[in-house]
Amino acid sequence: MEAVPRKTTIREVARAAGVGIGTISRVLNSSSQVSWKTRARVLDAIRRLGFRPNAQARRILKKRAEMVCFLLSNRDFLHPFHARILQGVESYASGMKQHVLFAALHYSPRTPPEKIDLPPVLQEHGLIDGVILAGTIYPNLLRRIEGIQMPFVALSNNVMGMDDVQQFDQVGFDDLNGTLQATRYLISKGHRRIVFAGDVSYPWLQRRFEGYGRGMREQKLKPVLITARNVPSFGDFGQESVGRILSGRSRPTAVVAGNDEIAYGLWRALCRRGVKVPDEISLVGFDDREEAVLMDPPLSTVCVHKEEIGETCMKMLLERLHHPQMAFSQRVLPTEFLIRGSVRQL
Amino acid sequence: MEAVPRKTTIREVARAAGVGIGTISRVLNSSSQVSWKTRARVLDAIRRLGFRPNAQARRILKKRAEMVCFLLSNRDFLHPFHARILQGVESYASGMKQHVLFAALHYSPRTPPEKIDLPPVLQEHGLIDGVILAGTIYPNLLRRIEGIQMPFVALSNNVMGMDDVQQFDQVGFDDLNGTLQATRYLISKGHRRIVFAGDVSYPWLQRRFEGYGRGMREQKLKPVLITARNVPSFGDFGQESVGRILSGRSRPTAVVAGNDEIAYGLWRALCRRGVKVPDEISLVGFDDREEAVLMDPPLSTVCVHKEEIGETCMKMLLERLHHPQMAFSQRVLPTEFLIRGSVRQL
DNA sequence: CTGAAAGCGCTTACAG
DNA sequence: CTGAAAGCGCTTACAG
C-alpha cells in the first residue's frame, strides 16, 4: 500500500518487467498463455508499481462499457420501492462484473420524443451499454430511447398509455393476482361486503381493481369501487374516501386498498372516527412498504419482491446485450399476500 | 430519429462534412473558433448521421472520468436515509455534468486494509475520479481507499472507532445539537423527568445522548440513560426497554429516543400496555423517517436534511478533485427539531 | 511464448 | 480558421 502515482501506465510496467507491453496486457487478461516465469515477473512489477489498468482504454477496444444506467423518471424521491429495485440491479450486476450508474430524469408525457432532454450519459455513446427504465414511463420516452438505439428493459408496472402489444423487454409483477389473493382471503374469513379504494385512472390501480373484482365475482359478490380523482396524495385519498366507505346503507366489513399509502390514510381516518381495525373493519394494502409492520395491528398486504425485480431487469438487459436480435420478452413476477393482523375472522 | 448504426465515428462525420476530424472535435467541444459556415456543415452532418461522440475516448484524453462512485458499505438494504442522500448526490452531480455510479460493499472491520475486496470499479483506474463513502466506515476501509490513492469524502456520522483527529474530508450532521434542541423543547413544555433510550455503544447514539445530557444539565436536571446491548434491532430495543422506563420509582414524563426506530418500538410497546402517547408519556425521535408523520399522533423528531447532505458530499468531492492539495475539511450540517403531536404540555 | 506494430475513437498542439 | 499528425492507454492479430 505504498504511495503510488496513479498515472502508472502499462508501458512503465513493461519496462520494469523487461517485457513488451503486449505481454502485460496478456497477463492482465489471462487470455493466451504466458510462461510461468514471465507471468511472475510481470505480476511482481505490477505490484511494485501499484499498477491499476485504465478501464476506459480497455473499454474502448472491447466496445463494451460493462455499465448500465438505472434511470428513474418523474420521481421526486428515490422511494424505498425503487431503492430496493436499484439494489437488486446492483447486486446482480456486480456478480456479472457490470457497473450501475444512477440517473434521474423529469419529463412531460406531452414533449415530442426527440425533444426529451436525456441525461448526458444517454446522449454520449460508449459510456453505458443499456438502460433500465424505472419510474413512470410514457410512450414518448420509449420512442426517445429507441431513437438513440439504446438497448433497454422497462419496469412495466408504471408504463402509461400503452394497452396494446408492447414491443420491448419488460419486467413487472402481478398486480391482478395480488388483489385476487387478498380478496379470496377476505372472503375465506367470512367477509362479504368488501370495497376497493383507489384511483383507477392509474393503470396499476386499475389492474388491482380488476383482481379484486374477479375475486368478488367468483363468489357472486358485487364489486364496489371507491374512487376519486385529483387528490394530492394517496394518503389524502385514504382520508377523503373514508367518509364514503362508512356512509353507505350497509357498511362494508373490509376494504382492499389500492396500495399501502391509501391503507394508511384510511387507517388514520378510521382511528380518528373511533372505528377500530380490525375489530370493526378489516383492511388490506398492497406493496408491503416497510411501515406495514409498524402499524398496530400490522397491515396485511400484498408483497412485491423488489430485489428480485431488479435482478430480473438486469439479467434481461444482459441477455438483450448478448443477443440483440432476440425476440422481446415480458416477465411477470408473482406477488404474495402476507397475512398479518389487520383482518378479522367474521 | 432515423435508425442509426451506433458505431458512427468522428471520421465518418468528417468525410460527410468534407472536413478534417480535428474540426469535428472542435465544434463538439466548442473550444476554439470555427467559421460559421463550417460549423453549420459539421452540425448538419452530425445530425444526418446521428453521431454521438464516444465518451470513453474523450475521457481517456481528458484524464477525467467525470464520474464518481457512491459506495454503500455494510448495509443489507438501500434504506430511505441513504437513498435520499444518493439522490442529493445525483442531483448536484448532474448539474455539474458528473455521473454517479452506485456500488455496494460488505467487509469486516477486522480485515487488514489491503485484503478488503473492493468492487471492480475501485480496482481499475480511470473509471471514476473519486468516491463518496456511505454506510458504516471503519478505519481499515479508510486505509484501503487511501492506499489506492482514490480521492474520497466520507459521510461522517457512521464513522466508527476514530475519535481523534480525522485527516480526511467528511460531511455530517449535528447529532448533539439535535437532541439538545429536543430536550430543551421538552423542558420548555414543563417536563422534568426525561430519559434517553438508546444503545450508546454506537458513536452516533453516544453523541445524541450527550446532546440530551447537556440539555438536562443546563437546567440542573439529572440525565438518565436507558441502554442495552446485543438487541437484534432498534425496534426491539424500544420494546425491551419500555419495562425499565415504566418501572422506576418516579415514572418519567418524556422519553428522548435515540432514533425513530427506537421511538416506534417504544410507542408500540406503550400502546400494548395501554399507556397513551402523549397523554401519559411524551415521546421524541431522531431522523424524521417517512413513517414519522404516519404515526398517530405524528412523532416529534429531529430532522436531517438528507438531500443536502448528499449535495454537500458531491460538492466537497468536486472541490477535492480540483484542488488535490487543499487542506481536509469537515462540514457539519445543522439538524432541526420538528414539533408535531407526540409531546404534551404539562 | 512474446515483441513490434497497427489500431480503438477521440483531443490537441503544430503548422500553415 | 483548419488539416495532418502525434498521442492517450490499452488490445490484438501478425510474425517469429
Question: With contact defined as beta carbons under 8 Å apart, do A316 and A132 qualify?
Answer: no
Measured at the CA of B67, the angle between CA B63 and CA B68, to 5 degrees, comes to 120
> Is residue A88 over pLDDT 90?
yes
> Is residue A4 over pLDDT 60?
no
For chain B, which ranges sit under pLDDT 50?
Answer: 1-5
Interface test with A, best of B58, B64, B99, B321 (most A CBs within 10 A): B99
Q: Hey, is B137 helix, strand or coil? A: strand
Q: What is the pLDDT of residues B198-250, one digit of tens each?
A: 999 999 999 999 999 999 999 999 999 998 877 888 888 887 889 889 987 88
Measured at the CA of A241, the angle between CA A238 and CA A243, to 5 degrees, comes to 125
Residue A38 vs residue A217, higher pLDDT: A217
Q: Does residue B38 reach within 7 angstroms of strand D, measured from its CB?
A: yes
In whole angstroms, D5 C1' to B74 CA is 51
Residue B334 vs residue A30, higher pLDDT: B334
- Shortest CB distance from A57 goes to which of B55, B60, B70? B60
Q: Which residues contact A164 (CB under 8 A, 6 or more apart)?
A: none
Which residue lies nearest D12, CA-to-C1' measured? A22
Nearest CA in chain B to A1: B147
Q: Does residue A32 reach within 7 angstroms of strand D, measured from its CB?
A: no
Question: With contact defined as beta carbons under 8 Å apart, do A272 and B271 qualify?
Answer: no
- Return the closest-CA partner of residue A289 out of A304, A274, A278: A304
State the pLDDT at residue B164: 60
State the pLDDT at residue A164: 61
Q: What is the pLDDT of residues A314-326, one digit of tens each?
A: 999 999 999 988 9
Say if residue B23 is exposed, middle or buried (CB neighbours under 10 Å; 0-12, 13-18, 19+).
buried
Cis peptide before B139 (omega within 30 of 0): no
Q: Does residue B28 reach within 7 angstroms of strand D, measured from its CB?
A: no
- Shortest CB distance from A77 goes to which of B59, B77, B87? B87
- Return the closest-CA partner of residue B96 out of B309, B304, B313, B305: B313
State the pLDDT at residue B5: 45
Which residue lies nearest D9, CA-to-C1' measured? A57
The answer to whether B127 contacts A55, with C-beta atoms less than 8 Å apart, is: yes
State the pLDDT at residue A135: 96
State the pLDDT at residue B105: 97
- In strand C, the nucleotides that come within 7 Å of a protein beta carbon are 1-5, 7-13
- Domains along the sequence of chain B with CATH: 10-53 (1.10.260.40), 67-174+307-333 (3.40.50.2300), 175-304 (3.40.50.2300)
**Nearest 5°: phi and psi at B176?**
-60, -50
Q: Residues of chain A with pLDDT > 70: what percent?
A: 97
Q: Does residue B31 reach within 7 angstroms of strand D, measured from its CB?
A: no
Q: What is the pLDDT of residues A149-186, one digit of tens each?
A: 899 999 998 888 876 667 899 999 999 999 999 999 99
> Is residue A5 over pLDDT 50?
no
- Residue B6's identity, in one-letter code, is R
